[in-house]
Amino acid sequence: MKRYIVRHLLLAIGMGLGSLQCMCQHSCQIDYGNENQIDYNLRPRVGVSGSITLPNASPLPNVCVAVFTDDTHQFVLGRTSDSKGRFYLPLLPNKTYRLVVRVSPFGVANARLTIIPEDRADQPLHVHIKPRGLDTTSYIDTD
């Protein structure tokens, strides 16, 4: 139990204390989607938190951020972003998932996500929502 509490504290510290209100987001569900041509190599992480913005850097509130199994693309869980576009997902079992963010009419952001058993804070993720295009679409990184 102590380890569980320490993990949550480290996640909260890594997110910044101002982000703690993100922990009470609403559940949501979306369909799996993958329009990315490149699978960005995100560093393995303990938890999942971050923000969603448009190309002009304005935040996107009330967007569903969902986790799917990596191999069969089955829905695991989803949470909406808060009024400042920030999101936080509860701790997940250690394995590989797909993180999917879908904002109509923009492109789908989809990234492979590996959850590992470490007691450290993660760098928040940044979901870049972009219009669909031949050479570009939405993506997720740690920028």
Q: Over the stretch 60-89, which tens digit does the pLDDT of each residue have?
A: 999 999 999 999 999 999 999 999 999 998
Q: How far apart are the first and last CA of the chain?
A: 32
Q: Where are the domains of the chain?
A: 2-141
- Ranking 5-19, 69-83, 84-98, 113-127 by mean pLDDT, the lowest is 5-19
CATH hierarchy code of domain 2-141: 2.60.40.1120
| Residue-wise burial string across 82-92, b where 16 or more C-beta atoms lie within 10 A, e elsewhere | beebbbbbeeb
Q: How is residue 24 annotated by DSSP?
A: G
Burial class (CB in 10 A: 0-12, 13-18, 19+), 4: exposed
Most trustworthy range by pLDDT among 1-5, 41-45, 56-60: 56-60
| pLDDT of the residue at 129 | 85
> Rounded to an integer, what distance in angstroms lies between the CA atom of residue 84 and that of residue 143?
17
| pLDDT of the residue at 29 | 83
